[in-house]
């Protein structure tokens, strides 16, 4: 059952489409990691919902961990340095790490993590993102698994927020132009 629609939001991806796509992604990951025990690292907070659904779709033995990064004092995702707010709890040396992101937008977060995580010597490292906005890419980030490409609009739901709201919506929606107009100046693009 879908939650009722929220004013000011335009649904782009329905709950049932997300569920089907997450299952497809899980089948591909199972095929690629057969015989191995991947370690799923979710990037908080945005990836929490996707991460939880994805790992429950997988029949592989696996482990999981979380980290959190933020852009310090920056309004938009593509400016200012990124800092690690919450480090991993587990050692990743020798592990087959799959980084789970809600969305790859400018690519800055993913590019930052792909420079830093290899220093901890994982056996392999791949990126799995529910959403990608290819038209916004400014940093070298190529997700190995992508759920959906989305247009250059600010999207919420299924973990993604606008001012920390809407993460619990079971679908992906875009803010309507009227609600999005002030976003240019808002500090909402932080990971």
Annotated catalytic residues are: 105
CB 152 within 8 A of CB 68: no
CB 129 within 8 A of CB 106: no
For residue 101, the partner it binds in ligand IMP, Mg ion, none, with Cβ less than 5 to 8 A by kind, is: ligand IMP
CB 2 within 8 A of CB 15: yes
Determine if 109 is a binding residue for ligand IMP (CB under 6 A). yes
Minimum Å distance from CB 102 to Mg ion?
Answer: 7
The only residue of 46, 122, 143, 147 in contact with ligand IMP, by rule CB under 6 A: 46
Binding mask 70-89 for ligand IMP (x = CB under 6 A): -------xx-----------
Length of the chain: 191
The only residue of 48, 148, 180, 189 in contact with ligand IMP, by rule CB under 6 A: 189
Interface residues with Mg ion (CB under 5 A) are 46
DSSP for 139-184, written as a single string? S----SEEEEE--SS-EEBTTB-BTTBSTT-SSEEEEPHHHHGGGG
Determine if 103 is a binding residue for ligand IMP (CB under 6 A). yes
Q: Which is nearer to ligand IMP, 122 or 191 (CB)?
A: 191
CB 166 within 8 A of CB 157: yes
Q: Closest-CB residue for Mg ion?
A: 46
């Amino acid at each position: 059952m879908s939650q009722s629609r929220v004013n000011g939001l335009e649904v782009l991806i329905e709950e049932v489409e997300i569920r089907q796509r997450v299952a497809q992604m899980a089948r591909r990951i199972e095929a690629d990691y057969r015989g191995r025990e991947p370690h799923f690292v979710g990037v908080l907070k945005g990836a929490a919902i996707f991460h939880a659904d994805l790992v429950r779709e997988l029949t592989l033995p696996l482990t999981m961990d979380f980290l959190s990064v933020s852009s310090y004092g920056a309004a938009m995702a593509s400016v200012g340095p990124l800092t690690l707010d919450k480090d991993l709890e587990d050692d990743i040396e020798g592990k087959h790490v799959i980084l789970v992101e809600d969305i790859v937008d400018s690519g800055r977060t993913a590019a930052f993590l792909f420079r830093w995580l290899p220093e901890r010597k994982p056996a392999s490292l791949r990126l799995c993102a529910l959403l990608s906005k290819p038209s916004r890419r400014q940093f070298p980030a190529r997700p190995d698994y992508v759920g959906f490409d989305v247009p250059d609009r600010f999207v919420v739901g299924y973990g993604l927020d606008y001012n920390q709201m809407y993460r619990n919506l079971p679908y992906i929606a875009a803010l309507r132009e009227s609600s999005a107009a002030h976003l240019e100046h808002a500090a909402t693009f932080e990971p």
